[in-house]
Chains A and B, each alone.
Chain A
Amino acid sequence: DQQVKQNSPSLSVQEGRISILNCDYTNSMFDYFLWYKKYPAEGPTFLISISSIKDKNEDGRFTVFLNKSAKHLSLHIVPSQPGDSAVYFCAARVGGGFKTIFGAGTRLFVKA
Chain B
Amino acid sequence: DVKVTQSSRYLVKRTGEKVFLECVQDMDHENMFWYRQDPGLGLRLIYFSYDVKMKEKGDIPEGYSVSREKKERFSLILESASTNQTSMYLCASSFPLQGAHEKLFFGSGTQLSVL
Contacts and interface: CB of A to CB of B under 8 A. Distances in A.
A43 B40 contact: no
Interface in A87-103: 89, 93-96, 98-103
Tell me if A's interface is mostly helix, strand, loop or mixed.
loop
A32 interface: yes
Interface string A54-65: 000000000000
A44 B40 contact: no
Chain A interface bracket (under 10, 10 to 19, 20 to 34, 35 or more): 20 to 34
A12 interface: no
Interface residues of B, number: 28
Interface in B86-115: 90, 92, 99-109
A79 interface: no
B31 A104 contact: no
B99 A95 contact: yes
B60 interface: no
Given A45-B106, A93-B100, A98 B56 contact: yes
Interface of B: 4, 9, 31, 35, 40-45, 48, 50, 56, 58-59, 90, 92, 99-109
